[in-house]
Amino acid sequence: MRAGTDRLLASGARSPRLDAELLLGHILGVDRTAILAHPEAVLSTDQEARFGAAVDRRATGEPVAYIRGIKEFYGLAFAVDERALIPRPETERLVEVAAAEVIRRLTSKPRDAGAPPIRIADVGTGSGAVAVALAVVLRKHGVRDEFMVLATELSPQALDLARENAVGHATADRLRFLEADLLPPYIETPFDLILANLPYVRSDVVPTLPVAASFEPRMALDGGPDGLMVIRQLLERLRDGALAEDGEALLEIGADQEGAIGEAVAEVLPGWRCRVEPDLAGLPRVARIAPPAGHGG
């Protein structure tokens, strides 16, 4: 443990001790508590070699999540690799807001027997973290057949990863997956909720991100010159009828983009409502966008 920590410290890793503990725990199949509780434990030659290889990978900047092949998100363990962006803690706020909105829609007024499920789109699903976590939390609230999620993704490789995570968390029955650029080209029935964690980092900022981000797909990070290029494309789809008359889009944004998203909505969707929900740190995080009353979808 000391050797691994020193190696990562010399490499410039931001949290060398934590990284070493996570990697050693991964190699031994135990959690960090066991590592701390048994400092006298001796590794086998094979375990030592595997730990050394993992530390070497981390020393090059590769994310710990990719080395372990797993990332915790919303209390769930997700398979992750270079096919998709690693889920971030701040994105959990998007799941919280979406779950609360689904439950509100189901409980705010009587629901007719045989009513169609709430139609949800998770645009740019990546690893599937948002869609899967939402399905899991709704299931915990007793919501099972009253919703359906269409998870879209431009990358077929990322879509395969999302499917794997859906199966791993037993949510594949409520999720459908579609390879698409944002949304299906033709939408017969508008969506009640559209969720999206699209790339929102400015192109000139991407090269300055921590080296770990260089291992992730650039298309999942780069939001164009002002960070809102892809988000504007989705706003245009909302304008063209992707959202139901009483629907709402929930879009994750950067902490410095509250004013910019409001301007973008006013430009692309005149008259539409836009308000921003903060995350647990009090920073702007989820833009809630809805059509004006009487909008025809």
pLDDT value of residue 296 = 52
Place of tokens 């829609």: 105
pLDDT, tens digit (0-9, with 9 covering 90-100), for 81-90? 999 999 999 9
Residue-range domains of the chain with CATH = 2-60 (no CATH), 83-290 (3.40.50.150)
Band (pLDDT 50/70/90 cuts) for residue 102 is very high
pTM: 0.94
Nearest-5° Cα angle at 195, 193 to 200: 150
Distance CA 111, CA 113 (A): 6
What is the sign, positive or negative, of the torsion defined by CA atoms of 250, 255, 261, 263? positive
Altogether, the residues listed in the chain come to a count of 297
- Residue 89 near residue 51, CB atoms below 8 Å: no
Contact 8, 16 (CB under 8 A): yes
Question: Which string of DSSP letters, residue by residue, matches 139-195?
Answer: HHTT--SSEEEEEEES-HHHHHHHHHHHHHTT-TTTEEEEE-SSS-S--SS-EEEEE
CB of 84 closer than 8 Å to CB of 161: yes
pLDDT at position 114: 81
Q: Over the stretch 204-227, which tens digit does the pLDDT of each residue have? A: 999 999 999 999 999 999 999 999
Q: Taking all residues of the chain, what is their mean pLDDT, rounded to a whole number? A: 95
Q: List, for residues 260-272, the tens digit of each pLDDT value.
A: 999 999 999 999 9
Torsion of CA 153, 289, 281, 253, to 10 degrees: 40
Condensed to tens digits (0 to 9), the pLDDT of residues 117-172 reads: 999 999 999 999 999 999 999 999 999 899 999 999 999 999 999 999 999 999 99
pLDDT in tens, 16-75: 999 999 999 999 999 889 998 998 889 999 999 999 999 999 999 999 999 999 999 999
Identify the pLDDT of residue 294.
Answer: 56
Query: Closest Cα to residue 137, out of 127, 125, 126, 149?
Result: 149
| pLDDT on residue 32 | 87
